Amino acid sequence: MNNFIYENSTKVYFGKGCVKEYLSCLVEKYGKRILLAYGGGSIKKNGIYQEVMDILEKAGAEVAEFSGIMANPTYQKVLKGAELARVHQSDWILGIGGGSVMDCCKAVSMAAVSTKDIWENYWEKMGIIDFEPLPLGVIVTVAGTGSECNGGAVITNEERKIKTGRDYPQCNPKFALMDPTYTYSVPVKQMVSGGFDILSHIMETYFSEPDTDNVSDDISEALMRSTIRNLRAAVQNPKDYTARSNLLWASTMAENRIIKLGKKCDFECHQMEHQLGAYTDCNHGCGLAVLHPVYYRHIYKDGLAKFVRFAENVWEIPRGDKTDEEMAREGVEALADFIREIGLPATLRELGVTEHTPLKEIADSCNLSPGSYRKMSHEEILEIYQECY
């Protein structure tokens, strides 16, 4: 394994009823003036909003609401949240939702106290945070991004058509309240999309050096098997507590940095999907589902041993007299079959991409991952987009 330093500062409260049990004491710890952030209002329909507001009211909190956070949070939305936090003089931020809400809140936590333009200084390029971001706590309602236990935030600059993710440990939420029953009301399509995002995060780490025996790859294989098994169960019964709780924790495990320890990591597919999303605003998990099989068909020969392991240990494909290349290809096709099985799209056309979508411009805007098994070029990324169309 490569050398590493590990730290995760987020405290997790996991399980049924954890919000009712712990939120009021967290208000006492972090302060009464709260910026309450959430998305399009689904939490008002499913009862989570009222449950949280009742707890905050009893705790004597003074709440300013920052709502309407979109699926691909924009830099302009971040600036509006930061301004509201300053005017309200918020002690901390409480985000309720999935990855988009959590990512937006992390950026707001910086912008609310920084005197710098955070896009230019922290998203366009990596920066050094020499200040203390506004404390952030999260209540997770969607399993997918794993944003609850890291400092990562993906933000879209609409003017520049750039969608960029950065991970600053200082932006880790102080706490994450994770009640699996809060994920029940998520529509099945969104649940499946989030579930594939979990699988994608694990694969992006797994399919990278080192390829010698290492703990991170062993954990990743177990997490992939668990995600596949529990996603199938949750599709059959969206209120299967065992399946939903396993998916919620798998989401965290995929992105709390544990499986990345000692790994180079790839994330080229995420780079391609981010730029596709910056131009088309497509669903993140759906975009990944379209791209992954085609991308892996391009690179499997360059990481052959790992793709054979994937076929054998994740999909349990019998070896028989198959060659390594045949095994690797069958593993990739098993992934493609699973994507169709759970109802995710297989083409860019299904995401709304048309012949007028500037695929070359999007390909040219993609960052090239140094962790990919195959040294990619913008020309090959364009080929992948075209094959996905």
- Residues contacting 148, CB < 8 A, separation 6+: 10, 12, 102, 138, 140, 173, 176, 178, 252
- Residues contacting 206, CB < 8 A, separation 6+: 217, 220, 221, 224, 259, 263, 306, 310
CB-CB neighbours of 237 under 10 Å: 11
Sign of the four-CA dihedral 181, 184, 185, 191: positive
- Residue 41 pLDDT greater than 90, yes or no: no
Which pLDDT tens digit goes with each residue over 96-117? Answer: 999 999 999 999 999 999 999 9
- Residue 354 pLDDT greater than 90, yes or no: yes
Which pLDDT tens digit goes with each residue over 156-187? Answer: 999 999 999 999 999 999 999 999 999 999 99
First to last CA, the chain: 38
Residue 60 pLDDT level (bands cut at 50, 70, 90): very high
Residue 389 pLDDT level (bands cut at 50, 70, 90): very high
Which pLDDT tens digit goes with each residue over 228-265? Answer: 999 999 999 999 999 999 999 999 999 999 999 999 99
